[in-house]
Structure 1
C-alpha cells in the first residue's frame, strides 16, 4: 500500500487545511505576503535560516488574496504595484505603512 503525500495549505479563511496537492504559491504568515515559489527574496531568506518558521502555502492567488495576503514586490512587481495603488481594495491589516519622510 502506498502512502500519499499530504500538504498543509492556507485556505480563504486564513486557516490551514490538508491537501493532496502542493500549493502553487508561498507566503510569509507574519508579513502577510504571498509570492512565487521561486521568489529570489524568499529563497535568500530561507537560505539564511529565516522565513521558514512563518512559511505558508496557497492553492492559488485568489485564495491568498481572500486570506488577506498581499503580492510580493520582488517576484510579483506588477501585482504589488496594483495592490499598492488601490488602497480601497484591501484591508489595513495587510497594508504595510510607509515611513514618513
Structure 2
C-alpha cells in the first residue's frame, strides 16, 4: 500500500509540475471545448482530477459490491454452521476412555 501512496504522490506532483511548466512556458496554448477555449495548463490538472474522481467512484462501487458478497458468504457460513451443530446434536460420539491412561 505504501507503493500505491508514493506512486499517487509522485504522479500528482508530476501533474502539478507539468501544469505549472505549461503555465510558465506556454500560457497561450488553449484547447477548444464546447464551453469556449480553455488554457492547457488548466485542462491537464482538470483531466487528472476527473480521472481520479471516476477511479474513486469505481473503487467505491467495488467496495460496496464486496460488502454485499461478504454478507452473502457470512449468511451461508452461518447456515452451514447451524447444519453442522444440528448434526452434532443428533449424533453424539463419546470418546472411549482407557482406565490406565491419563487424559490428554
- Normalised to the residue count of structure 1, the TM-score between the two structures is 0.20
Comparing both structures, which one devotes a greater share of its residues to helix? Answer: 2
In terms of Rg, which structure is larger? 2
Comparing both structures, which one devotes a greater share of its residues to strand? Answer: 1
Considering Cα pairs closer than 8 Å and 6+ residues apart, tell me whether 1 or 2 has the greater RCO.
Answer: 1
